[in-house]
Amino acid sequence: MSIKIAPSVLSADFSKMGEEIATLKGCGADLVHLDVMDGVFVKNITFGPKLVEDCRKFTDLPFDAHLMIVNPEKYVGAFADAGADIITVHKEACEDKIKDVLMQIKGYNKKCGVVINPNTPVKDIQDVIEYCDMILCMSVYPGFGGQKFIDDVLFKIEELSKLIRKTGKNIDIEVDGGINLETVSRAKSAGANVIVAGSTVFNAPDRKKIIEDLRNL
Ligand code: DX5
Ligand code: ZN
Protein backbone atom coordinates (compact mmCIF):
# COMPACT_ATOMS: atom_id res chain seq x y z
CA MET A 1 0.00 0.00 0.00
CA SER A 2 1.30 3.44 -0.82
CA ILE A 3 2.07 5.81 2.02
CA LYS A 4 -0.23 8.82 2.30
CA ILE A 5 0.49 11.83 4.48
CA ALA A 6 -2.50 13.57 6.03
CA PRO A 7 -1.62 16.80 7.85
CA SER A 8 -4.11 17.52 10.64
CA VAL A 9 -5.29 21.13 10.53
CA LEU A 10 -5.91 21.03 14.28
CA SER A 11 -2.44 22.58 14.58
CA ALA A 12 -3.01 25.12 11.78
CA ASP A 13 -3.84 28.79 12.37
CA PHE A 14 -7.66 28.74 12.52
CA SER A 15 -7.85 32.43 11.62
CA LYS A 16 -6.53 31.62 8.14
CA MET A 17 -7.66 28.07 7.64
CA GLY A 18 -8.31 28.43 3.90
CA GLU A 19 -4.77 29.62 3.17
CA GLU A 20 -3.26 26.99 5.46
CA ILE A 21 -5.16 24.28 3.57
CA ALA A 22 -4.28 25.79 0.20
CA THR A 23 -0.53 25.37 0.80
CA LEU A 24 -0.70 21.67 1.67
CA LYS A 25 -0.80 20.25 -1.85
CA GLY A 26 2.37 22.10 -2.85
CA CYS A 27 3.99 20.70 0.29
CA GLY A 28 3.29 17.16 -0.91
CA ALA A 29 0.32 16.22 1.31
CA ASP A 30 -2.04 13.51 0.07
CA LEU A 31 -5.08 14.23 2.24
CA VAL A 32 -6.28 17.01 4.53
CA HIS A 33 -7.18 15.60 7.95
CA LEU A 34 -10.05 17.56 9.53
CA ASP A 35 -10.59 17.02 13.25
CA VAL A 36 -14.20 17.68 14.18
CA MET A 37 -14.73 17.87 17.96
CA ASP A 38 -17.95 18.58 19.83
CA GLY A 39 -16.85 19.15 23.43
CA VAL A 40 -18.87 16.09 24.47
CA PHE A 41 -17.19 13.07 22.92
CA VAL A 42 -13.86 14.82 23.57
CA LYS A 43 -12.89 17.73 25.80
CA ASN A 44 -12.32 20.19 22.99
CA ILE A 45 -14.39 22.00 20.36
CA THR A 46 -13.20 22.71 16.83
CA PHE A 47 -15.49 23.29 13.86
CA GLY A 48 -18.46 21.95 11.91
CA PRO A 49 -19.58 21.46 8.30
CA LYS A 50 -19.61 25.20 7.47
CA LEU A 51 -15.84 25.47 7.81
CA VAL A 52 -15.38 22.31 5.73
CA GLU A 53 -17.62 23.75 3.02
CA ASP A 54 -15.85 27.13 3.03
CA CYS A 55 -12.41 25.50 2.85
CA ARG A 56 -13.41 23.12 0.06
CA LYS A 57 -12.60 25.71 -2.60
CA PHE A 58 -9.00 26.09 -1.40
CA THR A 59 -7.77 22.66 -2.53
CA ASP A 60 -8.65 19.59 -4.54
CA LEU A 61 -6.91 17.29 -2.06
CA PRO A 62 -9.31 14.77 -0.51
CA PHE A 63 -10.81 15.84 2.81
CA ASP A 64 -10.48 13.21 5.54
CA ALA A 65 -13.07 14.15 8.18
CA HIS A 66 -12.39 12.58 11.59
CA LEU A 67 -15.61 12.99 13.58
CA MET A 68 -15.00 13.04 17.32
CA ILE A 69 -18.63 13.68 18.13
CA VAL A 70 -21.55 11.89 19.78
CA ASN A 71 -24.44 10.78 17.55
CA PRO A 72 -22.38 11.08 14.35
CA GLU A 73 -25.33 9.69 12.34
CA LYS A 74 -27.00 13.10 12.76
CA TYR A 75 -24.13 14.92 11.05
CA VAL A 76 -22.49 12.66 8.46
CA GLY A 77 -24.89 13.94 5.81
CA ALA A 78 -23.88 17.54 6.51
CA PHE A 79 -20.18 16.69 6.28
CA ALA A 80 -20.74 14.73 3.08
CA ASP A 81 -22.59 17.71 1.55
CA ALA A 82 -19.86 20.05 2.75
CA GLY A 83 -17.29 18.18 0.67
CA ALA A 84 -15.70 15.56 2.90
CA ASP A 85 -14.37 12.64 0.84
CA ILE A 86 -13.63 10.21 3.65
CA ILE A 87 -15.67 10.26 6.84
CA THR A 88 -14.51 8.34 9.89
CA VAL A 89 -16.61 7.76 12.99
CA HIS A 90 -15.63 6.42 16.40
CA LYS A 91 -16.72 2.95 17.44
CA GLU A 92 -17.07 4.37 20.97
CA ALA A 93 -19.57 6.97 19.71
CA CYS A 94 -21.62 4.50 17.65
CA GLU A 95 -21.38 1.23 19.57
CA ASP A 96 -23.99 -1.17 18.11
CA LYS A 97 -24.99 1.29 15.38
CA ILE A 98 -21.54 1.30 13.81
CA LYS A 99 -22.43 -0.79 10.73
CA ASP A 100 -25.51 1.36 10.04
CA VAL A 101 -23.48 4.58 10.27
CA LEU A 102 -20.81 3.19 7.92
CA MET A 103 -23.53 2.24 5.43
CA GLN A 104 -25.07 5.69 5.80
CA ILE A 105 -21.73 7.28 4.83
CA LYS A 106 -21.42 4.94 1.84
CA GLY A 107 -24.94 5.97 0.86
CA TYR A 108 -23.58 9.48 0.25
CA ASN A 109 -20.96 7.96 -2.08
CA LYS A 110 -18.19 8.76 0.36
CA LYS A 111 -15.43 6.58 1.73
CA CYS A 112 -16.06 5.42 5.27
CA GLY A 113 -13.96 4.34 8.18
CA VAL A 114 -14.15 3.38 11.80
CA VAL A 115 -11.88 4.86 14.50
CA ILE A 116 -10.78 3.17 17.69
CA ASN A 117 -9.37 4.87 20.75
CA PRO A 118 -6.15 3.57 22.31
CA ASN A 119 -8.05 1.48 24.88
CA THR A 120 -10.57 -0.05 22.46
CA PRO A 121 -9.52 -3.52 21.32
CA VAL A 122 -9.47 -4.53 17.66
CA LYS A 123 -11.98 -7.30 18.38
CA ASP A 124 -14.65 -4.63 18.99
CA ILE A 125 -14.58 -3.66 15.31
CA GLN A 126 -13.68 -7.02 13.80
CA ASP A 127 -17.17 -7.50 12.35
CA VAL A 128 -17.19 -4.22 10.44
CA ILE A 129 -13.66 -4.15 9.02
CA GLU A 130 -14.85 -5.48 5.66
CA TYR A 131 -17.25 -2.53 5.20
CA CYS A 132 -14.54 0.09 5.73
CA ASP A 133 -12.27 1.86 3.28
CA MET A 134 -10.02 2.82 6.15
CA ILE A 135 -9.50 1.97 9.81
CA LEU A 136 -8.14 4.73 12.03
CA CYS A 137 -6.12 3.68 15.03
CA MET A 138 -5.76 6.50 17.55
CA SER A 139 -2.25 6.58 19.00
CA VAL A 140 -3.21 9.24 21.58
CA TYR A 141 -6.46 9.86 23.48
CA PRO A 142 -8.37 12.14 21.12
CA GLY A 143 -8.96 15.81 21.85
CA PHE A 144 -5.68 17.65 21.49
CA GLY A 145 -2.64 17.87 19.27
CA GLY A 146 0.92 17.55 20.49
CA GLN A 147 0.50 14.51 22.76
CA LYS A 148 2.90 11.62 23.15
CA PHE A 149 2.56 8.53 20.93
CA ILE A 150 1.23 5.48 22.81
CA ASP A 151 3.50 2.59 21.87
CA ASP A 152 1.03 -0.18 22.76
CA VAL A 153 -1.07 0.86 19.77
CA LEU A 154 1.57 -0.67 17.50
CA PHE A 155 0.38 -4.16 18.46
CA LYS A 156 -3.16 -3.23 17.46
CA ILE A 157 -1.96 -1.94 14.10
CA GLU A 158 -0.17 -5.26 13.51
CA GLU A 159 -3.29 -7.18 14.49
CA LEU A 160 -5.43 -5.05 12.18
CA SER A 161 -2.98 -5.52 9.37
CA LYS A 162 -3.33 -9.29 9.60
CA LEU A 163 -7.13 -9.13 9.74
CA ILE A 164 -7.24 -6.82 6.73
CA ARG A 165 -4.95 -9.12 4.77
CA LYS A 166 -7.43 -11.93 5.43
CA THR A 167 -10.28 -9.93 3.90
CA GLY A 168 -8.30 -9.64 0.64
CA LYS A 169 -9.56 -6.03 0.39
CA ASN A 170 -7.67 -2.79 -0.02
CA ILE A 171 -8.34 -1.19 3.34
CA ASP A 172 -6.08 1.60 4.56
CA ILE A 173 -4.77 1.76 8.11
CA GLU A 174 -4.50 5.31 9.37
CA VAL A 175 -2.58 6.25 12.50
CA ASP A 176 -3.31 9.50 14.33
CA GLY A 177 -1.56 11.15 17.26
CA GLY A 178 2.00 11.74 18.34
CA ILE A 179 3.49 11.11 14.91
CA ASN A 180 6.97 12.59 14.46
CA LEU A 181 10.16 11.62 12.66
CA GLU A 182 10.86 8.99 15.28
CA THR A 183 7.43 7.35 15.74
CA VAL A 184 6.50 7.36 12.04
CA SER A 185 8.78 4.49 11.07
CA ARG A 186 7.44 2.29 13.83
CA ALA A 187 3.84 3.01 12.82
CA LYS A 188 4.65 2.15 9.21
CA SER A 189 6.52 -1.04 10.13
CA ALA A 190 3.47 -2.15 12.10
CA GLY A 191 1.33 -1.68 8.98
CA ALA A 192 -0.05 1.87 8.95
CA ASN A 193 -0.07 3.52 5.51
CA VAL A 194 -2.05 6.73 6.13
CA ILE A 195 -0.07 8.96 8.44
CA VAL A 196 -1.78 11.85 10.25
CA ALA A 197 0.54 14.52 11.60
CA GLY A 198 -0.60 17.79 13.14
CA SER A 199 1.97 19.57 15.27
CA THR A 200 4.90 17.89 13.49
CA VAL A 201 3.82 19.37 10.14
CA PHE A 202 2.38 22.73 11.19
CA ASN A 203 5.17 23.61 13.63
CA ALA A 204 7.94 22.65 11.20
CA PRO A 205 9.98 25.46 9.65
CA ASP A 206 9.75 23.68 6.28
CA ARG A 207 6.44 21.84 5.80
CA LYS A 208 7.44 20.39 2.44
CA LYS A 209 10.61 18.88 3.84
CA ILE A 210 8.86 17.39 6.89
CA ILE A 211 6.13 15.80 4.74
CA GLU A 212 8.81 14.31 2.48
CA ASP A 213 10.68 12.96 5.53
CA LEU A 214 7.49 11.50 7.07
CA ARG A 215 6.83 9.76 3.77
CA ASN A 216 10.32 8.42 3.19
CA LEU A 217 11.58 7.49 6.63
C1 DX5 B 1 -6.29 14.34 18.14
C2 DX5 B 1 -6.54 14.48 16.67
C3 DX5 B 1 -5.31 14.46 15.86
C4 DX5 B 1 -4.34 15.57 16.21
C5 DX5 B 1 -2.98 14.98 16.08
O6 DX5 B 1 -7.49 14.14 18.79
O7 DX5 B 1 -7.36 13.44 16.18
O8 DX5 B 1 -5.58 14.43 14.47
O9 DX5 B 1 -4.41 16.69 15.39
O10 DX5 B 1 -2.06 15.91 16.50
P11 DX5 B 1 -0.54 15.56 16.65
O12 DX5 B 1 -0.07 15.04 15.31
O13 DX5 B 1 0.09 16.85 17.04
O14 DX5 B 1 -0.41 14.51 17.71
ZN1 ZN C 1 -7.59 13.18 13.94
Q: What is the pLDDT of residues 115-128, one digit of tens each?
A: 999 999 999 999 99
Question: What mean pLDDT do residues 8-15 have?
Answer: 98
Confidence class for position 13, pLDDT limits 50, 70, 90: very high
Tell me how far the alpha carbon of residue 67 lies from the centroid of ligand 2, in angstroms: 8
Q: What is the pLDDT of residues 142-198, one digit of tens each?
A: 999 999 999 999 999 999 999 999 999 999 999 999 999 999 999 999 999 999 999
CB 91 within 8 A of CB 115: yes
pLDDT, position 14: 98
Check pocket membership of 198 for ligand 1, CB cut-off 6 A.
yes
Check pocket membership of 88 for ligand 1, CB cut-off 6 A.
no
| Residue 138 to residue 53: CA distance in whole angstroms | 25
CA angle 194, 199, 201 (to 5 degrees): 60
Check pocket membership of 147 for ligand 1, CB cut-off 6 A.
yes
Confidence class for position 31, pLDDT limits 50, 70, 90: very high
CB 5 within 8 A of CB 197: yes
Confidence class for position 1, pLDDT limits 50, 70, 90: confident
For residue 38, how many C-alpha atoms fall within 13 Å in the half-sphere facing its CB? Answer: 15
Q: Which of 30, 133, 172, 176 is catalytic?
A: 176
Q: Which of 30, 35, 64, 133 is catalytic?
A: 35
pLDDT, position 158: 98
CB 20 within 8 A of CB 13: yes
Q: What is the pLDDT of residues 54-110, one digit of tens each?
A: 999 999 999 999 999 999 999 999 999 999 999 999 999 999 999 999 999 999 999
